[in-house]
Chain A
Amino acid sequence: MSHIWIMIAQRLALGLVTLFVVSLIIFLGTELLPGDFAQEILGQSATPETVAALREQLGLNDSMVTRYANWLGDVLQGDLGESLANGQSVSELIGRRLGWTLSLALYAAAIAVPLSLTLGILAALFRNSFFDRFANASALTSISFPEFFVAYILIFYLAGAGGPFPSISNMRGVEGFGDYLYRTFLPALTLTLVVTAHMMRMTRAAIINLLASPYIEMARLKGMSPMRVVVKHALPNALAPIINVVALNLAYLITGVVVVEVVFVYPGLGQLMVDSVSARDMPVVQGIALVFAAAYVLLNLTADVLATLSNPRLVHRR
């Protein structure tokens, strides 16, 4: 087992390096954006004097290297800094939004993962049947529409005049867990529709691949039921690619849902990121970029570890 721990440690170290590179890219990227924070925050009402005064006050006149070094030093001490715009602590700003983003991602995943695995297994089992084609076609249809379109269709039929669900999921005054599930059902469903196809088709493909191998044939010849062959013999060996695609989609649910957040007025991280980029609020942008990058690194790491664990040959390597 020990080499698994070594692998985790190596991957974590590599993850930190990745985060560092990401922070550098983000920093350089925002430097390249036209305009600067002082101008953006004062908007059309900016005058040269007020812009100059604001730049001085916020230390924007320091060189890029100095600012980056200062920021990195603070981050290493666990301090993400303060928003340039309103002086709120970045960790606090992100913390609140991250909570909402994670809970929506979890909600969507709780529907999407079991649903797509079940659909994928059944589709592999009844390959080329009407069910297989129908499941494939509908999943592909829903993933082919832009997210906002799926969202509007759901709003039109399930919210709108007299529909059972609310059309906006802003989380002001949410009362309890049940209310939360009810109010965020439409965004969660939208996300489910968006990610299901990917996971389902990967499951189906991985299992169908294995169904051609000799040991499955052997199991069949022993007279095992098809369902048992798939679940007991094929699925465990198909886990590695399935775990990978699930992890990728989970990362997407955390980092890529800006459009859904906008349509449903959901106060998640994506919206905060877009806002802060357009206002050149660097500390917030960098903080969120780090969180997003960390989500990818951690989920990829988890996927690799789980995939390794699912393969006895790798676990017991000498």
Chain B
Amino acid sequence: MKRLSNMGGMSRRTMLQGTAAVGTAALITPWGTPLRAQPVQGGTLRVGMAHGSTTDALDPGTWEADFMIFQAHTRNNYLTEIAADGSLVPELAESWEASEDAATWTFTIRSGVEFHSGHVLTAEDVVASINHHRGEDSTSAAAPIVSAITDMTVDGMNVVVTLASGNADFPFVMSDYHLPILPAQADGTIDPNTQDGCGPFRIVEIEFGVGASYARHDGYWKEGLPHFDAIEQIVIFDDAARQNALISGEVDYIDTADLNTVHLLERAPGIEILSVTGTQHYGLPMDTRAEPFNDPNVRLALKYSIDRTQLVDTILNGYGSIGNDHPIGSGQRFFNTELEQKEYDPDRARFHLAEAGMESLDVDIHLADAAFAGAMDAGVLFSESAAASGINLNVVREPNDGYWSNVWMQKPFAGTYWGGRPTEDLMFATAYERGVPWNETFWDNERFNDLLLQARSELDEDLRRDMYFEMQQIVSDDGGIIIPMFANYVGAYSDALAHPEQVASNWRNDGHRIGERWWFAA
């Protein structure tokens, strides 16, 4: 330890090597069993990210890709936080309570929280931050999720939110990455381009499409956090370059590993793979208003003629799980455990085709890899497995560029991906409820819509569970989307890093909170 006390002349790298060596020695007890590492302070975490664009902006209403979402959780705090186990815990809101009908929510704001600028958090900051996404001329991507708010009032350190109708999951909504709490200006609005925040790190420099550096926020209110002194976030688009950077030690963590070559990373010494089953799923939506998809039997025939296991094995290289044509992940609260799993069954597909009065079926599916990685290949595999049940599936290759404007929700049968939503209600309300803008299948099911409204304002857990179970059943059997697979979030990191036993599954990168939750193993 003498060497370590004289660290003045050592570079950061040699210091890390030194502490790592000492650490390993300390971890091996006389009986040879390693102990669990305790979080250690210090070091610069270097993160290589697969996204990040020069068109990114600081305005929270524009956040979409992982670079900015990671930035968001590194620099900011939210009213509520989704813990690693998926439960909702307080963050800037100390506590909250709902009225009987779940339409009025009172959040008590934590006192004494300091922004990087020294400004102390008030209830006005919260109102201003949420208001940024509301209103007629809002350009915020989060406008739909806050549109239910009709009024917000401040009462000391309390914020009272009134909703148009009851929503039992409203505190969950407040953890959405678009809704960081930023300091209010004198006129009661926020400056959307501010670099201020009250999260674990402050921005030192950010260059869109290139990278960002952060330094530890010393006045952070969470006891003992964060562990790192600084964070370097680097945009590395190219899959090979990103993996090379990790292997050669240029970065400590990469957020996305290329599934085609992940087996090479697995074999590399000193590299750990982080594979988390979350809510991210790939799907093939059909326009339920258009021929022939307006016949539920045709939809069922297609659902039974896709080989899900094969897709997970080939497209995801095993890093995922099979889906059951509904968007709820197996780790979620109300995941329907009793629902029968749909399997590849050409005979059953033929049966449903006959029910629809057809002997064979010719359809086009419009795909591009922009829909999800491997979409083209998935389409080809699907068309081969579908041939066995008399379905002639023609895969049309569309350009990646402009896919979301010209193909998705324009062509009757296409591909899509969803990062998923933390609650069942948010997921259904975003893409399955009648008439919502992202209802990509234009699906409208009476019973489903009724159940969704009922469950939203129901505070009794058991009743809600029954309702969500039934909704999953309805989506799976009648819905317009085939969801063959749930894709894991696959990243990789150097074994110099350590993380808590449980890693969050709501988003990539430990819920994008690696900066706050991880540390360098000592």
Contact = CB atoms under 8 A, between A and B. Distances in A.
B405 A168 contact: no
Q: Chain B CB within 10 Å — which of A163, A168, A264 has the most?
A: A168
Count class of interface residues, chain B: 35 or more
B248 A263 contact: no
Count class of interface residues, chain A: 35 or more
Contact of B57 (A33, A86, A168, A263): A86
Contacts of B416: 44
A47 interface: yes
A21 to B, nearest CB: 25
Interface in B128-153: 137-141, 143-144
A170 B238 CA distance: 13
A50 B141 CA distance: 7
Interface stretch (A5-13, A59-67, A152-160, A196-204): A152-160
Contacts of B402: 33-35, 40
Interface stretch (B203-211, B351-359, B379-387): B203-211
Given A36-B405, A155-B244, A271-B209, A83 B236 contact: no
Contact of B207 (A84, A152, A267): A267
Given A161-B248, A167-B245, A265-B235, A272 B143 contact: no
A279 interface: yes
Interface in B96-117: none
B405 A262 contact: no
A289 to B, nearest CB: 15
A318 B148 CA distance: 83
A99 interface: no
Contacts, number: 145
A262 B50 CA distance: 12
Contacts of B240: 152, 263
Interface in A280-307: 281, 284
Interface string A136-168: 000000000000000010010001110100111
Contacts of B237: 262, 265
Interface in B394-423: 399, 401-402, 404-406, 408, 416
B34 interface: no
Nearest to B240: A152
A276 interface: yes
Contact of B238 (A83, A161, A262): A262
A264 B241 contact: yes
Interface in A255-284: 262-265, 267, 271-272, 275-276, 278-279, 281, 284
Given A84-B55, A172-B211, 19 more contacts: A34-B402, A40-B402, A42-B62, A43-B64, A43-B65, A45-B438, A47-B438, A56-B137, A87-B193, A155-B244, A160-B247, A166-B248, A168-B234, A168-B244, A170-B234, A262-B237, A265-B238, A265-B245, A267-B207
Interface of B: 53-59, 62, 64-65, 137-141, 143-144, 193, 207-211, 213, 232, 234-238, 240-241, 244-245, 247-248, 250, 399, 401-402, 404-406, 408, 416, 437-438
